[in-house]
Amino acid sequence: MIDEKQISPAPVTLSVATRYWLKLGFISFGGPAGQISIIHQELVEKRRWISEQRYLHALNYCMLLPGPEATQLAIYIAWLMHGTYGAIVAGILFFLPAFILLSVLAGIYLAFGDTSLIQGVFYGIKPAVVAIVLFAGWRIGSRILRNAMLWSIAMFAFIGIFLLNIGFPWIILTAAIFGAVGSKFAPAQFQNNNGHYISNAAYGPAIIDDDTPTPAHAKFSWRKLSLTILIFIAIWLIALLSISNQPALLELGRFFTQAAFLTIGGAYAVLPYVYQGGVEHYHWLTGPQMMDGLALGEATPGPLIMIVTWIGYLGGVAKNVSDYPIIAGIAGAGIATFFTFLPSFLFILAGGPLVEATRNELKFTAPLVSITAAVVGVIFNLAVFFAWHTFWPQGTTTAPFAGTFHYFPFIVTIIAFLALWRYKTDIMKVIMTCALTGMLWVMILNLLEK
């Protein structure tokens, strides 16, 4: 009997691939690690669209890039299989379900967010967010901070952003320079030997196998690189010009273009920058609204950076970009999402051919290792910030511990963290449980008051 695992699968048509990318958009829960695992299980182990080695090569490149690495990984694989059109389809379908869901939830939130039921749900979700961010910091830190040098970088990054109020871009730039210089004097301190662990097991021949030649559309040339970059610059400029008569939308487009190039280390790392811009500078939303959006971003499929859809929707309504709130919200959400994800397509379509040309030679650099260590400090700063707003909701910058300390969210945070850390509970289950607990708690308080 012939073992089917030893036979290469039949080529996949674009229509078949499109159906899979749409499915992935609806099931991509669990953050980057979960999404990367889902893609590996489906495309390497089960469907064998791409081999382990080619998958890891693409993943390593995506980990070096700003932006959501799981989204870019899907774009990369689809680009290898079906060229530019396949990449566009995969990228859009990866975040489209989350875009629609978050836009609908933002509209409901603005319409009914002041009711006790909705307030109770978010009162329970907020401590879950604190626990999730703390757990993310612990998980990344335990994997990245392997020596005293990297621990020091993380500590100074935390002090810089928390106590000295240094902007996130400057912290990242300083970390990159420190890594580049430090590697000359202590190279062993900046070697990256961890990365994502994915099974080394062989799953049989794949459509894009280890020895499959690079497709014609994926071969590198300076002409193709230059042309791709020029096309994306033209798309970006045309998009900005099309909204130039709407100052609020123009601000959204410019800001999220900058944010897209700063998401090194994942969405958690760039959230302080997005918070500073969206809440403190442009006043698109409030701090509590930002936390509510982050909680929903965790609870919905797609990359966590989809929080930009939430910010854009609330920003469009807050700035009155239309006389109709729903149109204003959708316009803001669409602009924020478009300008955030446009660079991801550029990185793959422009850089992918070069990566394919240098297969088996791509390595993590010392500056990236240093940046990743700094990101750990930034994440813990974010956890402290969220904890402060959750446990002391009346606190201000001048009086951070003003008002009553809220014991209920503090207890929920501890239980949620233990569930994530000790019992490996799924994030979705933690959020849903906390939301239900918060709703019941608020209902009980309202009954007691009556």
If one compares 46 and 336, the residue with the highest pLDDT of the two is 336
Cα distance between residue 13 and residue 371, in whole Å? 40
| Averaged pLDDT, 74-78 | 96
Residue 3 has pLDDT above 60, yes or no: no
| Per-residue model confidence as pLDDT tens digits over 174-220 | 888 888 888 888 887 876 544 444 444 467 888 998 888 889 999 99
Question: Which residues make Cβ contacts (< 8 Å) with residue 406, sequence separation at least 6?
Answer: 390, 391, 392, 393
* pLDDT category of residue 115 using cuts at 50, 70 and 90: low
What per-residue confidence (pLDDT) applies to 179? 86
208: which strand partners?
50
Cα distance between residue 59 and residue 41, in whole Å? 14
Span of 80-89, 124-133, 138-147 with lowest mean pLDDT: 138-147
Question: Which residues make Cβ contacts (< 8 Å) with residue 284, sequence separation at least 6?
Answer: 252, 278, 311, 312, 314, 315, 318, 319, 332
What per-residue confidence (pLDDT) applies to 361? 45
In the chain, % of residues over pLDDT 70: 88
What per-residue confidence (pLDDT) applies to 195? 43
Q: Which of 94-103, 126-135, 380-389 has the highest mean pLDDT?
A: 94-103
3-state secondary structure the chain: CCCHHHCCCCCCCHHHHHHHHHHHHHHCCCHHHHHHHHHHHHHHHHCCCECHHHHHHHHHHHHHCCCCHHHHHHHHHHHHHHHHHHHHHHHHHHHHHHHHHHHHHHHHHHHHCCCHHHHHHHHHHHHHHHHHHHHHHHHHHHHHCCCHHHHHHHHHHHHHHHCCCCCHHHHHHHHHHHHHHHHHHCHHHHCCCCCCCCCCCCCCCCCECCCCCCCHHHCCCHHHHHHHHHHHHHHHHHHHHHCCCCHHHHHHHHHHHHHHCCCCCCHHHHHHHHHHHHHHHCCCCCHHHHHHHHHHHHHCCCCHHHHHHHHHHHHHHHCCCCCCHHHHHHHHHHHHHHHHHHHHHHHHHHHHHHHHHCCCCCCCCHHHHHHHHHHHHHHHHHHHHHHHHHHCCCCCCCCCCCCCCCHHHHHHHHHHHHHHHCCCCCHHHHHHHHHHHHHHHHHHHHHHHC
Span of 286-300, 302-316, 409-423 with lowest mean pLDDT: 286-300
CA distances from 52 to 59, 240, 368, 450 (A): 10, 40, 24, 62
What per-residue confidence (pLDDT) applies to 161? 85
| Per-residue model confidence as pLDDT tens digits over 411-431 | 999 999 999 888 888 777 888
What per-residue confidence (pLDDT) applies to 425? 85
What per-residue confidence (pLDDT) applies to 345? 96
| Averaged pLDDT, 242-261 | 93
What per-residue confidence (pLDDT) applies to 198? 41
| Averaged pLDDT, 248-272 | 82
Tokens of 217: 């559309």
What per-residue confidence (pLDDT) applies to 426? 76
Note if the pTM is more than 0.95.
no
If one compares 165 and 192, the residue with the highest pLDDT of the two is 165
| Per-residue model confidence as pLDDT tens digits over 19-45 | 999 988 887 765 666 677 778 878 988
> How many residues make up the chain in this entry?
450
Residue 450 has pLDDT above 70, yes or no: no
* pLDDT category of residue 153 using cuts at 50, 70 and 90: very high
What per-residue confidence (pLDDT) applies to 112? 81
In the chain, % of residues over pLDDT 90: 38
Q: Give residue for tokens 């396949």.
A: 86
Closest CA to 266 of 70, 439, 52, 4: 70
Under 8 Å between Cβ of 38 and 1: no
Closest CA to 289 of 114, 409, 30: 114
For residue 102, count CB atoms less than 10 angstroms from its CB and return exposed for 0-12, middle for 13-18, buried for 19 or more: buried
What per-residue confidence (pLDDT) applies to 60? 67
Tokens of 148: 């005293």
| Per-residue model confidence as pLDDT tens digits over 325-358 | 999 999 999 999 999 999 999 999 999 998 888 7
**Maximum distance among all Cα pairs of the chain, rounded to whole angstroms:** 76
| Averaged pLDDT, 11-21 | 93
| Per-residue model confidence as pLDDT tens digits over 354-376 | 888 876 543 445 776 787 788 78
* pLDDT category of residue 264 using cuts at 50, 70 and 90: low
What per-residue confidence (pLDDT) applies to 363? 44
Span of 6-15, 288-297, 357-366 with lowest mean pLDDT: 357-366
Closest CA to 303 of 104, 102, 29, 60: 29
If one compares 78 and 304, the residue with the highest pLDDT of the two is 78
Tokens of 442: 């608020």
Average pLDDT over all residues of the chain: 84
What per-residue confidence (pLDDT) applies to 171? 84
50: which strand partners?
208
Span of 259-263, 406-410, 437-441 with lowest mean pLDDT: 259-263
Residue 55 has pLDDT above 80, yes or no: yes
Tokens of 106: 């933002």
